[in-house]
Amino acid sequence: MPLLEVRDIRTRYGAIEALKGISLTVDAGEVVTLIGSNGAGKTTTLRSISGLTPASSGTITFAGQDITRVPANEIVGRGIALAPEGRHVFPRMTVLENLQLGAHQRRGPGVEFNRVYELFPLLNERQRQKAGTMSGGEQQMLAIGRALMAQPKLLMLDEPSLGIAPIVVQRIYETIADINSTGVAILLVEQNANYALDAASRGYVLETGRVVLANDSVSLRNDPEVQNAYLGT
Dump pLDDT digits (tens) for 75-100: 999 999 999 887 789 999 999 999 99
Beta bridge partners of 158: 189
The model's confidence at residue 189, banded by pLDDT at 50, 70 and 90, is: very high
Q: What average pLDDT does this structure show over 129-155?
A: 93
Q: What is the pLDDT of residue 110?
A: 55
Residues 208 and 19: their CA atoms lie apart, in Å, by 8
Domain boundaries, the chain: 4-231
pLDDT in tens, 11-67: 999 999 999 999 999 999 999 999 999 899 999 999 999 999 999 999 999 999 999
Query: Which spans in the chain are helix H?
Result: 42-50, 72-78, 95-102, 110-119, 121-125, 136-148, 166-181, 193-199, 217-222, 224-226
Choices 3.40.190.10, 3.30.1360.120, 3.40.50.300, 3.60.20.10: CATH for 4-231: 3.40.50.300
| Helical axes 136-148 vs 166-181, angle rounded to 10° | 10
Q: Are 80 and 72 in contact (CB under 8 A)?
A: no
For the whole model, what pTM was predicted? 0.92
Residue percentage of the chain with pLDDT more than 90: 79
pLDDT of residue 106: 62
**Phi/psi at 175 (nearest 5 deg)?**
-70, -35
What is the overall mean pLDDT for the chain? 92
Q: What are phi and psi of 126, to 5 degrees?
A: -110, 25
